[in-house]
Amino acid sequence: MNDNEYNYYIPGQDYRNEPPKQDDQNKKEKKKMSKLTKTICLALVFGLVASAAFQVSNVVISKALGTDDTSQSSSNDQSESVGNAQLTQTSNSSTQASGVADVVEGVKPCIVSITNMSVQQVQNFFGSTSEQQVESSGSGIIISENDSELLIVTNNHVVEDYSSLTVTFSNEVSVEGIVKGTNSSKDLAVIAVKLDDIDEDTKSAIKKATLGNSDGLQVGEQAIAIGNALGYGQSVTTGVISATNRDIEMQGFDCTLIQTDAAINPGNSGGALLNSNGEVIGINTVKVSDSSVEGMGYAIPISDVKDIIEELMNQETREKVNENKKGYLGIRGVDVTEESAEMYSMPKGVYVSEAIEGGGAEAAGIQKGYIITEFNSESIGSMTELQSKLEYYAAGETVTLTVQVPANNGEYEATSVEVTLTKN
């Protein structure tokens, strides 16, 4: 109750002009005091009763009119509660935003930028070709280390045909990296960096990523993509899981992907797709680039490829051998592309068009018409890929090939063949 809402009645003053006689004054004053006391008591009782009645009537009327103070108070509480909920939501939103910032801050030390210097054949206007050094950018995720190496997972296409790899950590320190193993059909590769090449400050600044579970992803969950977009260094985009179990048509690629509307830009390849806990749920790999398409990027589900990553990171690390020591299979080959494979019912790989006399392949029994599909248990999709594998092996070393041998009725049978490499 508010002082401004009610007027108080104050009893007690006598406004007569005649002065009373002295003898009777005491009696009159006693009577007056008695009456005054009674009047005050009655006034108090009346005030309390009137106040209660007024409050009751006020409540009844207010309820009837829908303007009940209690209701209003409750409404205010609800409004405050709603306000709090909104503030909480805003706070959540802000916490969420702050949460994204926290997630990114925690994961940045796990992400690296990768620069690939490769030599490619370039055809000029007149049709002649020449070699040209090309630089490309990608990303990687620090996943483990062994006694001598820091291990980083990325996409195969990020390291493909490399002549040198530069790995740049979150503190902008760069070191040389080498490819430890690749799987082209899953677009995966593992890079090794020698621990001795990393200074102590950088070692304390970096950390290994936590791999999450991509099997239970739900459409609409938050997704955070982090990587070396456009080669400018680490950047972050956010969105949601748009779809799971997406199959896309891409030559030589065999993997079911996660779709997200978090922007996946050139250079993001090999970087991390994260959940709201900062766990890696995918490896960013491709995006749909078309004037009629927006917000369709894809990542390799981490749970689908953990075994492959472990296999690649536990392979022996090999460095490229000098040209004068390099080993050769002794074949001429042609790519069996996905289109050719479908058209002619052939396995994808390298079709042997000739086994050179005196070469290691001929000595191992490989003949024209065979198709090479694996090199030391790693899938082979092209002659270029096969040649890049051989750059790490010297003449005299033995490698294991999986070859598809033509059988009856146009079928092929897989067999394993050991080949001792020879000089060119």
Q: Which positions are annotated as active-site residues?
A: 157, 187, 269
Side-chain-side CA neighbours of 214 within 13 Å: the count stands at 26
Please provide residue 419's backbone torsions phi and psi, each rounded to the nearest 5 degrees.
-125, 130
DSSP reduced 3-state for 316: coil
Contact between residue 170 and residue 109 where contact means Cβ atoms under 8 Å apart? yes
Contact 114, 191 (CB under 8 A): yes
Its sign, for the CA torsion 302, 308, 314, 318, is negative
Look at residues 346, 400, 338 and name the one whose alpha carbon lies nearest to residue 371.
346
Q: How far apart are the first and last CA of the chain?
A: 103
For residues 315 and 209, give the distance between their C-alpha atoms in angstroms, rounded to a whole number.
20
Distance CA 398, CA 386 (A): 15
Q: Are 412 and 346 in contact (CB under 8 A)?
A: yes
DSSP class of residue 312 equals: H
Count of C-beta atoms within a 10 Å radius of residue 83: 12
Q: Are 95 and 87 in contact (CB under 8 A)?
A: no
Structural element, H or E, at residue 256: strand 256-260
Residue count of the chain, please give it.
424
Name the β-bridge partners of 224. Answer: 238, 274
On whether the CB atoms of residues 378 and 150 are closer than 8 A, the answer is: no
Q: Torsion angle, CA of 99/101/102/108, rounded to 10 degrees?
A: 140
Tokens of 294: 């927006």
